Amino acid sequence: MMNHNNKFSWRLNARLRITIFLLSIFLLLTYHIFNTVDKNKPEQASNSLDSIDTDTTNIINITDNLDTTNINDSTGITDIIDNNYKGKIGKIKETNNDIIETDKAVDTSNTQSTVPADNVDFLNVINKVSYLPKIQSDPMNFVETPEEKALRESRRESVKQGFLHAWNGYVEYAWGSDEVLPLTNTTSNSFNGWGATMVDALDTMWIMGLTDEFKNATDYIANVDFTSSQNVISVFETTIRYLGGLLSAHELSGDEMLLQKAKELGEAMIPAFNSPTGIPYNTWNLTKGLTENGYRPYASMGILSQAGTLLLEYTKLAQLTGISTFFDKVQHVTDVLDKAKKKIPGFYPLYISQTTGKFMNDEINFGGMGDSFYEYLIKEYIYIGGAIDQYRRMYEESIDSMSKYLVKEGQVINYPDLLFLGSYSSGTFVPKMEHLACFVPGMLAIGSKTLDRPQDLELAIKLAETCYWAYNSTTTGIGPEDFSFFVKGELIDPKKLKLLTPEWNDKLLPYGVYEMNGIYLLRPETIESLFVLYRVTGDKSYQEKGWQIWQAIETWCNTPTAYSGLLNVAGTNIVQNNNMESFFFAETLKYLYLLFSTPDVISLDTYVFNTESHPFLRMLPNYN
């Protein structure tokens, strides 16, 4: 039996043991707590973008079950995308030219906006998405007889074979390069040598059901480093061709690698927005931008179309990655352009200072250097389901001024009703119509249906007729780069009559036109508008016009290797120019193929096209 002293000693030892045990637990818990807090501190900025973790593990394969040749009803798919990213919005910040993540994806379903009141919160954008009016015509207007169906499908197959002819030439002579030169069978690398043709063609291949070609291209793209550049790149061209192509192909195919490449490219270009106003520099060296503190390109003025044609791509990138900074950057550019002083409401001059945010001239053009800025106002509004009314207001102001000041009747004999779209410079109307401006009929058509502006559809139909007339009036049946025209009611200047040459057709320029730039770069704009108007009206005459243009391209632009642009579209000696830009795959051939497809294939009520014809799924209201 234990004596009293031993019993007391045991009790003392037991209490000591318990005290030591509890103290040990307390110390362990304290260490664990402080260690966890320390680990959760934000990492310091570095030159490596590997530190950015945007929580894309929940990104889903949105189109795994889509038919490769009939990508139709994507309503449910878009809803899944929107629900998947609600509440997963993070941000990135910049230190000099570096960017790091500051907030992981968080539950934002009940989060209040923490940005300044004059900024737009991307979370609020997502929550305000609504259904917009239908763009495409009633399905009954597309009913066809068995004979009409057979004809349409044969024409679509002709376009597909044309694509394969051009693609196979690229594969044989220029694989991995940006473009193939179709007469000399050599290469061109004007877009950083990442394979611009390959990326631009991805979604067209998927839509056409060319899965083997798609797989070969993506296998190559998987090894391309989109974060470095040997020389400066065009921010605009890189965004619309590469970023747009990667994002669209990802949405159609569900290939996660393509989204990862898009994310890497988007992050690498973020420092290009580090101008004093936030308007991106026109050009940027990706390598220097990520490795050299304070790197800036040579000073230049911002160009309207380049600064204002990034909205769709970066908003889509924000949606798919959950990084709202991508949207914040381009929305800020829109705000700067919106607030800049303008002489005429809705008219945005072509040049703007990246230092002051002020416009530098008064040149207005819906063709080169202005075109896609206006296009993206209505398309961004459509893409986000009307969540930001600013885009509608800016678009309507622009179209109202365009209709009032830039649309004129001409003096073309036998075509007195033709309307022409000119430009404005130094307070004077410039009677020159560009091929690039022939996207306007398509833009007006989708805007008309979306915003209930029937007068815009009437104007779209008339301007499209002028664009087609320009094609139908030449020796080749292909439209010129631009031409100057006499305005109705104005006396014809005898000096201008001296400019008439027999190069429009075998005889003379049509009376009413006095000057022409006759080159053809395989451009898509007229075909684009024919496609949109067919989908909006159901009028099959647009298919006939598109077929005539395709036949002309086959006749005059086809080479043993691919297709080539032309040095002149009129005259007795038609000469090819040994050039086939990547947009021939992305735009011209895609729009032709869709023109001869059923209207549920890439429906305008489900998708919105970027300016390089890469289709993006539109946002839908989120019911989560």
Long-range CB contacts (< 8 A, 24+ apart) of 544-550?
Answer: 545/468, 546/592, 546/595, 546/596, 547/155, 547/596, 548/471, 548/472, 548/477, 549/468, 549/471, 549/477, 549/478, 550/155, 550/158, 550/159, 550/162, 550/592
Pair of tokens at residue 277: 């106003």
Which one from 82, 101, 178, 237 is the annotated catalytic residue?
Answer: 237
As a whole number of angstroms, the distance between CA 472 and CA 595 comes to 19
**Residue 396 is among the residues annotated as catalytic for this protein:** no
Does residue 525 carry a catalytic annotation?
yes
Instruction: State how far the Cα of 596 lies from the Cα of 208, in Å rounded to an integer.
Output: 12
Token code pair at residue 554:
């086959």
Q: Which helix (H) or strand (E) holds 514?
A: strand 513-517
| Identified catalytic residue from 481, 482, 503, 581 | 481
Quickly count: other Cβ atoms within 10 Å of residue 413's Cβ: 8
What residues are paired with 188 via a beta bridge?
A: 179
Q: Are the C-beta atoms of 69 and 90 separated by less than 8 Å?
A: no
| 118 carries an active-site annotation | no
Q: Is 321 annotated as a binding residue?
A: no
* Contact indicator for 478, 504 with CB cutoff of 8 Å: no
Q: Which of 178, 203, 525, 528 is the catalytic position?
A: 525
Asked if residues 619 and 82 have their Cβ atoms less than 8 Å apart, the reply is yes
- In the residue annotation, 98 being an active-site residue is answered as no
**DSSP letter string over 141-171?**
GG---HHHHHHHHHHHHHHHHHHHHHHHHHH
H and E: helices and strands count for the chain = 22, 17
Phi, psi (5° rounding) for residue 384? -95, 20
Q: Is 357 exposed, middle or buried, given 0-12, 13-18 or 19+ CB atoms closer than 10 A?
A: buried
Distance CA 598, CA 155 (A): 12
425: left (phi over 0), alpha (psi -120 to 50) or beta: beta
Residue 362 is encoded by which pair of tokens?
A: 């008064």
| Active-site residue (options: 213, 371, 380, 503) | 371
Binding-site members are 611
Binding-site members for Ca(2+) are 611
Which residues form the catalytic set? Answer: 237, 371, 481, 525
